Amino acid sequence: MLRSLTLSLAFIAAFCSVVSAADVEPRTVVITWRSGSPSFLAWQAAGRRGPITDLTPLVGVHSTAPYILDATLTAVDRAHALRNHTVIRQTPDRTISRIMVVKYEADVDPAYLARKLSSLPDVQVAEPLSRHHLLEMPNDPDVGLQYHLPLIRAIDAWDVLPLNKTIVVGIVDTGIDTAHVDLGANVWRNSGEMGLDANQQDKRFNNLDDDGNGFADDWYGWDFLGADGTPDNEPLPGNLHGTHVGGIVAAVINNAIGVAGVGKNIRVMPVKIGYDDQFSSTVGRSSDGILYAASMGASIINCSFGSGSPSFADVTVIEEATTLGSLIVAASGNDGVNMAFYPAAYPQVLSVTATDELDQLTYFSNRHSSVDVCAPGLTIYSTVPGDRYDYLNGTSMASPVAAAVAAMVRLRFPDYSPDETRAVVMSTCDNVDTLNRIFMGLYGIGRVNALKAVSESSPRWVSVIRSTFTDADEDGFFEPNERIRLSLDIRNELEPLSHCVVHVTPAPAAFQPEIVTDSIVVGPLAHGQTVTLAEDVLIDLPSDIPFNGELRLMVTITDSSQFVSRQMITAVVNPTYRTIDVNYLAATVNSIGNIGYNDYPSNVQGVGLSYKGGPSLLFEGALMVGVQPRDLPNVARGAQTDIKDTSFHPLRIAELRTDSVPNGSRIVTAFSDIYDPWSIGLSITQNVYAMTADSLKRTLLITLDVTNRVDTVIRDLFVSQFYDFDIGPSGSNNGCAFDRSKGIGLIQNTTRPDFPSVGVAMISPLPMNFFALDNDGDVSSPSIYDHFLRAEKWTTMSGGIRRANSRITDVSTIIGAGPFSLAPGESKQVCFVIAVGEDYTMLSSDIASARAAAELMGLNAAPYKEIPIEDRISYIEGSPLLGPGSHDVSFAVGQTSPVTIDVIDLFGNPITTVVDNEQFQAGTYTRTMNLPNIAQGTYFLRMTTFTSSVIEGFGVVR
C-alpha cells in the first residue's frame, strides 16, 4: 500500500506538534455535528440547548450550548444577504450552526474524552475548547517613540491613499477606550443603530435591534463577556491591551496630540472578548467576536490572542469570516519557540511575528513555517485607557502593525479579496534574512513595508497549497539514506506570470538533504490558476538525520529569473515508530513500549490497530512492568488522563525487518527503565511479528525479552500489556471476559455482532494475570477516566485472574505474566497474541495457531493449562488507603464452601465482619464492608473457606 505525507498549508503540518502546548477549558469539549445527523436535528429542535441522550453514557451529567450565539448567526445571515456573492461565495453548508459546547461534571480530561467522542457516527469532530490568552509583554518606557512608523514607511504610505475613503478594522480584543482623546474620533459607529427610531427614540439606547443583526443597541461594537460573562453593548476596556492594539492601528493622525496610528483613514471596530477585570489576560467567545466583526463589515480583523491548541471549530469560523470578505490577521505567540500558534497558523490567516527596531526577531517571538510576515513588536508606544500612552512588547503589537498595512492595501485596492490582500502584504515585504539567518523561513517572507504594499501596481505571489512526500519503499517513514519525492500544487494569487519556475533548496536545519531535482519549469501561470507540478522533486536524505528530525525545504518561485515568492515546507523524518501491515492486521509500534499510536491521546502518529483496512480498534496499548505499586515502570496513561507515563528510554529505535519471521515481517525495538525515578533495573527487547499464513493472518505475535541489568535479584516481577480496545463508536457497549478454559481475553461490541471481535492471550508457561477493567469505574474496578495511578495499575496487573468480566461499557484489558524472578543478567521471554476476527470460534482457533507457531519458532510458548478458580480477595474499593465508611469488596470462591470474611488488626484481633459463615458456590462475588472509626494503621481483610485462608492488607487513614 502506498503511503504518503500530505502537508496542507502549514496547518496540518503543525497540528500534531502542539498538543502538549494546548491550553483548554476543563470539563468542556466542543462537538461539530455531521450535517443532518439525528443528534444534531434533535439538539436543533431543542433550541440548541439541553443534554444529548446519546452522549450521556460517555459524558454523564452535562449541559450544552451553541459555540456560535444565535445573535451572531443572525448577523452572519444578514451580512450574507447584503453581500454580492458573485465576488465571494457564501459557505453552502452552515457548519457554524452545528458546533456545540458540552460542559460536563465528571473529572475526565477533555482531550481524552474528545478522542472518544470523535468516533460517534453523528460527530464530525470533537475537541477540547481552547483557552486563548493575550500576547502583550509590558516594559518600562526607556526607548524612543514609534520607531515602527518610519521603519515600515507608514507615513510615506499615507500620501498614496485615496482621499475621503475609510475602511473598518475589527479589533477583537479586550475593548477600546472609545473616548480616548487620541483614538475616539477613529472608532467605528454602526449607522443602523444611530439616529431616531419611528417613536423618536434614540436608537442607541432603545433596547431594540434596529438594524436586524441580532444585537440590540450595538452602536459602537459589542461586548461578548462583560463583567460576569453576560454580553452587553459597551465594549469598553477591561485590560488595556485592546486600546493599545487599537491605537497602533488607527490613533488619530495630525491632531497635534500624542501618537499616530500606522494606518490612515481607518476606523476601528471594538469587539470585546475580554472580561471587565483590568488584570485578566484570558479571552472568550473569540469566534463570536470574529464573526460579528466580519458580519458588520470589517475588511480586516486583528486577533492579538491565541493558544497552542488548534481547533476545527475555529477553522470553520475563519472560513466563514473569509467568505464575508474579511482578512484575519493574528499574532504568532510569545513563547519564543518553534511552534504553531492559533488562530495565526490557520490557512487564510495572515500570521505575524515580532521584530525589533533593527529588524531582528525578538527573543519572545514564536517562529514557525506557518508564520507569514514579521513586523515591529518591541517597545511599541501607543494609547492606553484614560487618555494615556504606554510601551508594550509582544506579537500582539506586531499583528496590528501588519493589520493596518493590510487595511491600507484594501483601501487602495478595494477589489482585492482577503486572500489577494494577504498575498500583497507578503509580496511587498522587505527581506531581512541577513539579520536572521538561523531562522530563515520561520519568521515569514520578511518585514512588512507599508509604502510598497500600497504602491505596487503589479504585485506577484504564488502559494504552495499542497505538498505531499512519498518514499521509495512506500512505508510512509522517511529514513536515513532514503530517496523521497515531493509533489507540489501551486496557485497564482496575483498578477500573471510568463515563465514560472519552482526552485527547491535546503533551509537552515540540523541536517542538509541533497536536492536531486532542484528546479521545475511551470511556464505561464494565469491569475488564480492552480497547477500540479508535472514532475516530483527528488530528495536524498543523508545518513546522519536525527530521530524525529524536521526536514526543512525552501520552495522559491521565480518568473523569468525574478523573485516572486518563497515558502517553507517541512516534514518529520526518521520517526521513532513504525507500522507493520503485511496481513489482515495493521499496527503501529513505537520505541518505548506502546502499540497503536506514538502520541497518546492525540493518536495521529500511527494507525492504531486496524482489521482489513477498517477503523482502528485500539485507542491505547502500553507495556507495564512492576514489583510493587511504586516500582512500576510503564507507558500507559498516568496521574493525568491526557498524559502517559514515560518510564522507558529507547535503546534501539523501532525497525521493520523480514528476517527471523516465517512468511511475514517483524518490528524490533529495545528500551530500558534506567531513567525512571522508581526503576526496577530492566532492559527489554520487543518483537512484534505479523505472519501471512492463512491461520495466522488475523494475528500479531508479541515477544518481550525482559533482562535484569542490575547486580541484584529482581523478585516478584509482573509483566503486563494494557489495551484500551474501542470496538465501534467511542468503545461504548463493549464487554470484556476471560475464558478460563482457553486462556483468552475476549473483547466484543455487545450490540453490533457485525463488528469484529478481539482476543488477547499470554502464551508463555508463566503465571497468568488478567483484569477486565471498566473505564468508567465500578465497585470492583478503578475508573481510568480521571487518572490511572500506579497503585491502580498494580491492582489490575497482579494477583492472577483478578476480574474476569467487565460490565457493558467502555472497557480496557490488562493481561500479563508473573510473579517471577530474574537473577542478575538473566532474561526471560514473555509472549502475547492479539487476534481479530468475525467471531470467537475464529479467534480461539487463530490464537491456538499462533501459540503453535511460536513454539515452532523456538519462542517461550507452551500449550495452555486451564486455570482453576482460587479462593482470593480480588478487590477492595479505595485500597490501599481507606477511611471509615462503606467499601465494596470483591472476592472469588474456588468451590462450594461456607465463607467468612472479616477485618483484623496486626495482632489478629477482629474489628468487623463482612461475611459471616455464608454458603457460596464457585464464582466471584461482591459485598460491602462497613469500616468503623478505628485508629490509623495497617489492617487485613481475611477470607476463610473450607480449603484456605487468604488475607489482603490495607491502610486506614483519618
| Structure confidence by residue, pLDDT tens digits, 893-906 | 988 999 999 999 99
Mean pLDDT for the chain overall: 91
Cβ-contact 698, 846 below 8 angstroms: yes
Q: For the sheet with 99-104, list strands across it.
A: 62-66, 99-104, 24-33, 123-130
Cβ-contact 368, 378 below 8 angstroms: no
The amino acid at 548:
N
pLDDT tens digits, 98-143: 999 999 998 888 988 998 898 888 999 999 998 887 765 443 333 3
Q: What is the pLDDT, as a whole number, of residue 799?
A: 84
Whose CA is closest to 768, among 794, 740, 735? 740
Query: Which residues are CB-neighbours of 246 under 8 A, at least 6 positions away?
Result: 171, 173, 176, 183, 187, 268, 270, 383, 400
pLDDT tens digits, 883-896: 999 999 989 898 89
Cα–Cα distance, 849 to 204 (Å, whole number): 80
Q: For the chain, count helices (H), then strands (E).
A: 15, 53
> Cα Rg for the chain, rounded, in angstroms?
32
Average pLDDT over residues 543-565: 93
- C-alpha grid cell, residue 735: 464487554
Bridge partners, 648 (sequence order): none
- Is residue 96 left, alpha or beta, with left meaning phi > 0 and alpha meaning psi from -120 to 50? alpha
> Cα–Cα–Cα angle for 578, 828, 587, nearest 5°?
20
Cα–Cα distance, 458 to 423 (Å, whole number): 12
Q: In this model, does residue 466 exceed pLDDT 70? A: yes
- Is residue 462 left, alpha or beta, with left meaning phi > 0 and alpha meaning psi from -120 to 50? beta
Q: In this model, does residue 91 exceed pLDDT 50? A: no
pLDDT tens digits, 56-84: 888 889 999 999 999 999 999 999 888 76
Average pLDDT over residues 360-368: 94
Bridge partners, 924 (sequence order): 892
Q: Kindly write down the DSSP assignment for every residue of 583-611, as one continuous string.
A: SSEEEEEESSSBBS-SSTTT--SS--EEE
Q: In this model, does residue 10 exceed pLDDT 60? A: no
pLDDT tens digits, 292-343: 999 999 999 999 999 888 889 999 999 999 999 999 999 999 999 999 999 9
Cα–Cα distance, 287 to 281 (Å, whole number): 17
Cα–Cα distance, 732 to 780 (Å, whole number): 19
Fold observed for domain 577-856? Beta-galactosidase; Chain A, domain 5 (2.70.98)
- C-alpha grid cell, residue 225: 463577556
pLDDT tens digits, 643-672: 999 999 999 999 999 999 989 999 999 999
Domain 134-159+167-455, what architecture? 3-Layer(aba) Sandwich (3.40)
Cα–Cα distance, 843 to 585 (Å, whole number): 13
Cβ-contact 831, 854 below 8 angstroms: yes
* Helical axes 286-295 vs 312-323, angle rounded to 10°: 10
SS3 443: coil
Cα–Cα distance, 28 to 683 (Å, whole number): 40
Cα–Cα distance, 457 to 738 (Å, whole number): 75
In this structure, what DSSP letter does residue 251 have? P
Percent of the chain with pLDDT over 70: 96
* Helical axes 70-82 vs 286-295, angle rounded to 10°: 30
Q: In this model, does residue 1 exceed pLDDT 60? A: no
Q: In this model, does residue 473 exceed pLDDT 60? A: yes
Cα–Cα distance, 340 to 346 (Å, whole number): 9
Alpha-carbon distances, residue 708 vs 363, 581, 681, 818 (angstroms) = 47, 32, 6, 15
The amino acid at 737:
A
In this structure, what DSSP letter does residue 434 have? G
In this structure, what DSSP letter does residue 437 have? G
Q: Supply the pTM of this predicted model.
A: 0.80
pLDDT tens digits, 612-623: 999 999 999 999
Q: What is the pLDDT, as a whole number, of residue 828?
A: 98
Q: What is the pLDDT, as a whole number, of residue 144?
A: 43
Cα–Cα distance, 202 to 727 (Å, whole number): 62
Cα–Cα distance, 593 to 608 (Å, whole number): 14
In this structure, what DSSP letter does residue 644 have? B
Q: What is the pLDDT, as a whole number, of residue 90?
A: 45
Whose CA is closest to 940, among 894, 908, 916? 908
Using H for helix, E for strand and C for coil, what is the string for 150-180? HHCCHHHHHCCCCCCCCEEEEEEECCCCCCC
The answer as to CATH 3.30.379.10 being correct for domain 462-572 is: no
Provide the annotated active-site residues: 173, 241, 396
Alpha-carbon distances, residue 152 vs 141, 330, 508, 797 (angstroms) = 21, 18, 27, 64
Of 3.90.1280.10, 2.60.40.1930, 1.10.10.10, 2.40.50.140, the CATH number of 872-956 is: 2.60.40.1930
SS3 800: coil
Cα–Cα distance, 603 to 222 (Å, whole number): 39
* Distance, C-alpha 400 to centroid of its chain: 28
pLDDT tens digits, 250-281: 999 988 889 999 999 999 999 999 988 888 88
Length of the chain: 958
Cα–Cα distance, 101 to 338 (Å, whole number): 30
State the residue for C-alpha cell 512526500.
Answer: 469
Contacts made by residues 147-150, CB under 8 angstroms, sequence distance 24+? 147/357, 147/376, 147/379, 148/262, 148/357, 148/375, 148/376, 148/380, 148/401, 149/260, 149/262
Cβ-contact 287, 314 below 8 angstroms: yes
Q: What is the pLDDT, as a whole number, of residue 84?
A: 60
- Range scoring the smallest mean pLDDT among 39-48, 402-411, 627-636: 39-48
Cβ-contact 462, 445 below 8 angstroms: no
Q: In this model, does residue 880 exceed pLDDT 90? A: no
Query: Which residues are CB-neighbours of 664 under 8 A, at least 6 positions away?
Result: 582, 583, 658, 689, 690, 691, 692, 696
